[in-house]
Amino acid sequence: MERDFTLKIYEELLDTLINAGYSFQRVEDYMQDPLEKVVMLRHDVDLRSYAALRLAKFEASKGIQSTYYFRIVKQSYDPMIIHKIVTMGHEIGYHYEDLAVCAGDYQAAIQSFQKNLELFREFYPVKTICMHGSSGSPYDNRDLWKKYDMQDYGIICEPYLSIDYDKVLYLSDTGRRWNGFKMSLRDNVKTKYDFNFTRTWEIVDAVDKLPDQILFTAHPEQWVDDFPEWLYVKGFSILHSLYKVYYRNRKIKKEMNNSGKE
Ligand SMILES: [Zn+2]
């Protein structure tokens, strides 16, 4: 069976979308002036920021601009890499996790958020942010916006909160499958769509049936051609999924119930 989650199949996916008449917009551009038939490529840089640079170069070579959300942790936040990705015309946003890091202290979390946002704004005039799932924490980072208004911080979009997924189809590569987000603790959205894709080829084959607006979430570290790295990523992903499904999600749900959170 041909390997999935390589740059080769990623290119096939992009070419298929282009041939089907889709344009590409960065999240901030979509929010300000959405095209009719459009794909947004959202990249959450959870770890191994060099993989983000690799993917950013690849997209730029095809004339495509997308959106990269970086965390503040050292596995993700790399000024040199962020700077290079900015020069390619991609959008940079903050992949925030302040509420989880601050263990639910809202005031500390918003201060931390503001401070970190300023760091990213040294590289790019950040207008959109996207939560990190922090699936090891009982705190949902998005809850920060139940108490504070993101517009006060110059933010025009949080993809989980600001996009209508009855209109925009949401597809995420979480768990190295395109339907894993249905099982994910927080990386999921309310939607009327019921597509059920596992492998990337299934999306390619179904391109004529897809709605006009699509948001893909692709974690850069998952997309790799080099075989040893690909094998490592796949092995890690399998173990990590098992750990989450059989142990951590149950533990976190229990913690959330105990503290009266939903
Ligand atoms: Zn993340």
Give 167 Cα–ligand 1 centroid separation in angstroms: 24
User: What's the longest Cα–Cα distance across the chain?
Assistant: 51
Query: Is 249 a residue whose pLDDT tops 90?
Result: no
* Least confident stretch, 51-65, 115-129, 221-235: 221-235
2: in domain: no
- What pLDDT, on a 0 to 100 scale, did the predictor assign at position 213? 98
Give 130 Cα–ligand 1 centroid separation in angstroms: 8
Give 132 Cα–ligand 1 centroid separation in angstroms: 4
Beta bridge partners of 171: 216
What's the rounded mean pLDDT across residues 7-33? 98
Task: For residue 260, name the pLDDT band (cuts at 50, 70, 90).
Answer: low
223: in domain: yes
Task: For residue 259, name the pLDDT band (cuts at 50, 70, 90).
Answer: low
Instruction: Give me the number of domains the chain comprises.
Output: 1
| % the chain with pLDDT above 70 | 98
Residues 221 and 3 sit within 8 Å (Cβ to Cβ): no
Give 78 Cα–ligand 1 centroid separation in angstroms: 16
The set of residues, in sequence order, having a beta carbon less than 8 Å from that of 77 and lying 6+ positions away, is 49, 70, 71, 119
Which CATH number goes with the domain that contains 156?
3.20.20.370
- What pLDDT, on a 0 to 100 scale, did the predictor assign at position 255? 80
How far apart, in Å, are the Cα atoms of 147 and each of 72, 99, 200, 208?
Answer: 22, 12, 38, 42
Query: Is 145 a residue whose pLDDT tops 50?
Result: yes
Give 217 Cα–ligand 1 centroid separation in angstroms: 10
Rounded to a whole number of angstroms, the CA Rg of the chain reads 18
Residues 68 and 90 sit within 8 Å (Cβ to Cβ): yes
Quick one: tokens of 261?
Answer: 């959170």
| % the chain with pLDDT above 90 | 78
62: in domain: yes
229: in domain: yes
Question: Which domain, by its residues, includes 84?
Answer: 7-196+207-258
pLDDT digits (tens, 9 = 90+) for 77-132: 999 999 999 999 999 999 999 999 999 999 999 999 999 999 999 999 999 999 99
60: in domain: yes
Query: Is 247 a residue whose pLDDT tops 70?
Result: yes
Give 208 Cα–ligand 1 centroid separation in angstroms: 30
More confident residue, 234 or 150: 150
Residues 128 and 44 sit within 8 Å (Cβ to Cβ): no
Quick one: tokens of 192?
Answer: 């009327």
* Least confident stretch, 43-52, 83-92, 121-130, 242-251: 242-251
Sign of CA dihedral 121, 124, 127, 130: negative
Query: Measured between alpha carbons, how far apart are the two ends of the chain, in Å?
Result: 41
Q: Is this structure's pTM higher than 0.85?
A: yes
202: in domain: no
- What pLDDT, on a 0 to 100 scale, did the predictor assign at position 262? 46
Give 96 Cα–ligand 1 centroid separation in angstroms: 8
